[in-house]
Each structure stands twice: as structure tokens, then as C-alpha cells.
Chain A
Amino acid sequence: MSKMTREMLNARRIQAKMAADAHTRTVLICAGTGCIAGGSLKIYDYLKTECEKRGISVLVNLMDDETQCAGHAINMKKSGCHGFCEMGPLLQIEPEGYLYTHVKIEDCDEIIEKTIIGGEVIERLLYTLDGVSYAKHNDIPFYRQQHRVVLENCGTTDAEDMDEYLAKDGYAAFEKALFEMTDEQICREIMDSGLRGRGGGGFPAGRKWDSVRKQPKGKKYVVCNGDEGDPGAFMDRSIMEGNPHSVIEGMLIAACAAGSDEGYIYVRAEYPLAVTRLKIAIAKAEEAGLLGDNILGTDFSFHLHVNRGAGAFVCGEGSALTASIEGKRGMPRVKPPRTVEHGLWAQPTVLNNVETFSAVPLIVRKGAAWFRSIGTENSPGTKAFALTGNVVNTGLIEVPMGTTLREVIFDIGGGIKDGKKFKAVQIGGPSGGCLTEEHLDLPMDFDSLKKLGAMIGSGGLVVMDEDTCMVEVARFFMHFTQNESCGKCVPCREGTRRMLEILERIVANEGTLEDLDLLEELSATITETALCGLGQSACKPVQSTLKYFRNEYLAHVVDKHCPHCNGRKKELQIDPTLCKGCGKCKRQCPMEAIEGQIRMPHTIDTTKCIKCGACWGSCPFGAIREE
């Protein structure tokens, strides 16, 4: 294989661009994890076979030669995640830009006849909201209000075809960094852009790179953290699956800046598709001479490996992650020394997360000033969020930093499901806090959230409606953290266990007022003394719910009855002397566990009862009680 030179890379890019312009009809089938679960790959295969049966040539790769095909030819691609997972499987048809939702195999023949051949839109497959149907994907409110920069290529390109990335100016930033910039200039550019780590901490990426650059010459590493473990977060997964080359390019630029020749991407075990796509992307980049020795004829070399995690949330912490790459138990260590001085195999290491690396090529190509023009003064750029929970449009979104929660939840997210009222949103997963109605108009950036005791974290947004019990939410997250505590330091190992015990007691209506004070005291101690970020932030959900929803704790502790949750562990029974047989409870019961004749005392079948308490609230006579 001949070595790729800069000229050859440019020629290939121009060819790819021409090929991209030449394709008129393109069908994009979403092949993100969500849509695949909905059967999108079967739809792809069916469409391809059926098109070919009808004499339409199907081109799978961008560089497939259209002129070789007899007659009509279309381009059919498996794209990365569109982000609108709620509506999957999704199918987008270019050049019109039609977006079809909930596509089924049965719809395919009609799609081929009407849209692919006829260019006609099929009304019933369009997204509709409030009686208005939207033909084009850019018109849908969910997309219209977003600002997709890092996610731009997710959903529009085939992640397994490197030429598509090249056609969109892929690796142009790396070229610029390699040939036209010094290591110092690259670090300066990233510092000027104000890019802050998207993994949670928000540390300026440029400063990190510059610290590694200034370390004495020798072995240095670039590590990408793809161990996205927060429940309800999947931004990094979508980038790795949908635009893997942007991560590789970002890491290459970091390697140029820091003087590194080896890198690792650490991906959690639950993301097999991301691992596959990254491995394919690395192989293609190696083949093209963009990874390996003497890249593009220079003396710069960079080798990239993919490591799979093995199911430990704590490995998202920097020093635990590098320990895991070294083949050890993934446990954090005391800092300092910091990772920039003493990282992987005790060598200086640049460690950033997927979204951060993915933003780097754009900054280098378009300039720091362009990046600064988006977002806020201290948090420039955009941020991807995974929007889940009781919200109408769940999915993956990207908005400029400083966008308010109201815009995200109500304008893009379409508001709360089933017309219920908004209660709170948990931001940053188990390491973040909850925000309430009073924070809806607050611009979200690193600093504003920190002030409130929450954090952007990796970007999970779990929306909760009026029926959610916030004590139960706190218990859920504490259960998660406790389960994932690595056990190295006492405050986290013992402290989170005691916190969980207290919370379980409160949820079961067996807590006392002293328990609330104890929770606060333990929270403060653990936050101050735990070894790593996991422990230090473990109490945030408890602290923020205690602050904003103390009345719900009191409902459990004082009233021994929570109107929202089914925390009651004891059996419910109807007192026959008080029951007038009105039947209200019977109508309320979701499990049909209550039986009885009208005007006769009713009974609860305890084998059917789920102790939800719906009957309790409905009884006008106070006849229902715990035994």
C-alpha cells in the first residue's frame, strides 16, 4: 500500500465532495442503537432488495461509481443517531429532506413507489404535533430550535464510510494542525476558544493540553473517556456510533499538541456498536495513512487502541479509567499528582471525553472566535443533552451553552407527557442535583449550575412530572452510587451505605426527623472527605431534594403517607366499621384489587395489591389503613 501524502489526501477529499454533490437521491436509515432495536436494519435490507428488484441500483458507499450503473441509481446509507429516538425507526429522504417516523416493513413498498421513485411525500408517516404535520426534518420543532455542531454529521452520514467524513472537510483540521501550526499554537487556539471538558468537570481543555505539552519530552498518552455510565445519558454513545472519525481527528490534534504518539479510547461494555464503529473507523484511518507511523509523510506518528470497559461506573473517573486500561482494578487514586503529569502508566496524559474531542476539529478548522460566538462568555460552544423521563420528545439534542431549561424542556422537548405539570429535572445523573420550576429560566452553563449545587455533568436530563416522589428519586440515585462505589475509601464505601439505609427507611415511612439531620450531616462529611469525584458528588441528589422538596421528606416522616409514591411496605386494609361501600377506592385501584358490593364494606385482595396508595387518597371516610 502506498503511503498517503497531503496531496493525495486532498485529492481524495475533492473526489469525495464531487461524489457527494453528484448523488441526487439519498435514503438515510437511522442505525443508532434505538432505531436498530426498532428493526431499522431489517428495513434497510428490505428497501435495498426491493429497490434492486425494481431495477434501481443501490449505491452503498459514497465513492461507488454511479456511471457504472445501468439506469436509475440511488444512494442508501445507514446513518448515525438522529437523536429523535422516541419516533424511531427513522428514515430520511434527500434531496427533499423528508423525515418518516415509526417506519415499518409494511410501509416500505409505498415508500419506494411514492417517494423514492415519485418524489412524493407520504403524509401518514410524517411527524405530527398539535394537528400539524411536518414534512421536512428541519421544520420539526424538536430540530428547529437546536444548534447542532458536534452532532451535525450524526444522522446525515454513514459512520462506516470514511469518504463521507472527508467530503465534509474531515481531517482538514488535523492537516492544518500538523502542517501549519506549532504545538504551542494548537494549545493556544484551544485555550482561546474556551473549550471546557464536556465530561462533567468543565476544566479548560487547552490548559490541560498545554500542561502535558510542557512536561519533559518522552512517552505521553492521549486518552478518550467513552465510559458514559450515567443512567439516562447517551450523548457520547451517539457520537461514537454516528461520527467516530471526529473523535479520532480530535485525538490526533491533541497528540500533535501534546507530543504524544499513542492513544486509547475507553468505551463502556454496554456499547458494543460504538466499539465496532470505532474499530472500523480506526482501521480505515490506518489504511489511509492517517494513523500509524510517519503520518502524511511527516515524522509524526500516532497509534490508537480501543479498550472495552467491563461494567464499573467508577471507571469514568480519570485515574480509575487509566488503571483499568493498565489491566488493574479500576479504582481512583489520591491526587495530586494530576493526570497531566502522572496518568496512564505514570506518563503525562491528555484525558478528555468523547464530546470534547469531537468539538476540537471544528475549532481548529473554523477558529476560536467562531466557537466563542456560540454559547456564553465563560462556557462557549454547544452542549449535547440526553433528554429523557416524563417529557414528550425524548432524545438527543444539542443547544448552545446558556440555553434555558424552559427552552430545552418545553420548546424542544415538547413539554411534559400527558399534560401533567413539571416538577423537577435531574441534571448530571447521580452526580448532579435536581432543579425546579424556579430555575426554568436560568441559562444553563458550567458556572450557573455549580452555584446551585447541580452540574451539567455529562449531560443527562431526566425530567420528572408532578406525580414523581422526590424522596424515591434520591433513594434511586443513592442506590446506584452505593452499588458502584469501588470500596477504596471509607467515606464513600460506608457513608453511601448508611445514607441508603436511611433513605430506604424514610421511603418506607419509618424515618424520623432526626434522620433528615443525619442525612445532611453525612452528606457534608462524604462530600468533603471522599477520595474521588464519584464519592464527592454522591450526595448531590439528596442535598438538592432536601433543599427543594423538604415537604416531601416530611410527608414520609411526619404524615407517614406520601401522595406520590408507593413506598408503603405494609399491607393495606379496609376497616369494615368505617367503610360505607361507596366504591370510590374500587374505581381508583389500578390493579383491580378491591372487591365489594355497593353500600357494603369492601375488601382488598393483598395478593393483587401493589400498595400504591391510590385508594388511601380517595377514601372520604379514612377507612383504609396500614396493618
Chain B
Amino acid sequence: MSNGISMERVDQIIDSYGSKRHHLIAIMQDIQAEYKYLSPEVLERIAEKLHIGVAKVYSVATFYENFSLEAKGKYIIKVCDGTACHVRKSQPIYNAIREYLNLEGKQKTSANGLFTLETVACLGACGLAPVVTINDQVHSKMTPESMIDLLKQLEKEDAANE
């Protein structure tokens, strides 16, 4: 076990593809679908089982935009920064979240591993701008204040479920 990733499950996924090299992308997609990211241990395990170099696995994982090598939080927040949302002030919402979660520099995930903050180009929900999604659920017409309230609520819910 490392970071909640079960290596048995990873093996299972690799085996389900017959440990074939050309399924590398599909294998990584399935693992990421379960754990939201690919840890160094996972990349090494894949390399070992497919009999290819770790560098090769790493090169493919970094080439495609969909793969993440960083652990992501339980809640993935995406702030829309499309034109319509930008004009209706999505940036102050983004800044407020960063401040609330104490994110510094390139850091995207809060220290407690609960939230990951990302921006997204356009969700196509411009009539509801500014729009924020949390785990793909759309929250419309947000303000920095309502955003922070929402985060506090999620934290509470999470604590209650622990």
C-alpha cells in the first residue's frame, strides 16, 4: 500500500490486458480512473510487468495531457476561465480558493489532500457564468463568498463521514 493505491489492484488491471505493451495507455487510463493519478510506484510496477523501461512508461505518461503524476484531492475543483466567466470575474473566485486553501506557487492540492484546484478553458455553460465544477458537478453564478461557504460545507460533510 502506498497513498491508498493497492498494488494488487494495479496488477489486476495490467493482467486484464494480458500484460501486453501496446495496452500501456489503456492500462494507465484504467489505473488513473481508479486512483486519479499515477504514482512513481505505479509507473515502476507497470514497467516491470510489461518488461519495458521505466523511462519509456514515464515518457508516455508525460506526453498525454490526461495523465497526472501528482496525487489529487478528494474534491477536484475546476474554475472556468473561459471568456464569459473571465469577464464575470472568475479570477477573484480562483484567488479566493487559493488563499483559503493556502496554496502557494505551483501547488494545486491542499495540504490535507482534500481539494485540488484547477482551471478549465470553457465548460460551455456561459449562461450560468461564472461556473465552478466540483467533481464534475456544476455550480453556477458563483462569488468568492459563496465559493468559500461551499468549501466549508464540504469540509464539514467530509469530517462527518470520517
Contact = CB atoms under 8 A, between A and B. Distances in A.
Interface string A590-605: 1000000000000000
Contacts of A274: none
A623 interface: no
Contact of B64 (A307, A310, A610): A310
B66 A610 contact: no
A311 B25 contact: no
B24 A327 contact: yes
B87 A312 contact: no
B21 A311 contact: no
A324 interface: yes
Interface in B57-72: 59-60, 63-67
Interface string B36-64: 00000000000000000000000110011
Contacts of A311: 64-66
A310 B29 contact: yes
Contacts of A309: 64
A310 B24 contact: no
Contacts of A284: none
Nearest to B86: A610
A280 interface: no
A327 B23 contact: yes
Contacts of A327: 21-25, 60
Contacts of A486: 63
Given A329-B59, A610-B87, A312 B22 contact: no
A405 B87 CA distance: 31
B111 interface: no
B26 interface: yes
Chain A interface size, under 10 / 10 to 19 / 20 to 34 / 35 or more: 10 to 19
Contacts, number: 41
Given A328-B60, A610-B87, A310 B67 contact: yes
Contact of B60 (A269, A307, A325, A329): A329
A269 B64 CA distance: 11
Interface string A526-555: 000000000000000000000000000000
Question: Chain B interface: which size bin?
Answer: 10 to 19
A311 B21 CA distance: 20
B22 A269 contact: no
Given A325-B22, A326-B22, A327-B21, A310 B59 contact: no
A312 B63 contact: yes
A265 to B, nearest CB: 13
B87 A310 contact: no
Interface in A288-329: 307-312, 324-329
Nearest to B60: A329
Interface in A25-80: 37
A322 to B, nearest CB: 11
A375 interface: no
Interface string B1-35: 00000000000000000000111111011000000
A312 B62 CA distance: 11
A190 B21 CA distance: 36
Given A308-B26, A325-B22, A330 B87 contact: no
A309 B29 CA distance: 9
Given A308-B26, A308-B29, A610-B87, A329 B63 contact: yes
Interface string A177-213: 0000000000000000000000000000000000000
Contact of B25 (A310, A331, A590, A610): A310
Contacts of B21: 327
B121 to A, nearest CB: 9
Interface in B85-123: 87
Nearest to B24: A327
A307 B26 contact: yes
Nearest to B20: A327
A308 B32 CA distance: 14
A278 to B, nearest CB: 15
Nearest to B64: A310
Contacts of A312: 63-65
Question: Which 5 A-B residue pairings sit nearest by Cβ, starting from the closest?
Answer: A310-B64, A311-B65, A327-B24, A311-B66, A327-B22
Given A269-B66, A307-B26, A326-B22, 8 more contacts: A308-B25, A308-B26, A310-B66, A311-B64, A311-B65, A330-B63, A330-B64, A486-B63
Interface of A: 37, 269, 307-312, 324-331, 486, 590, 610
Interface of B: 21-26, 28-29, 59-60, 63-67, 87, 124
12 contacts: A269-B29, A269-B66, A307-B26, A310-B25, A327-B22, A327-B25, A327-B60, A329-B59, A329-B63, A486-B63, A590-B87, A610-B87
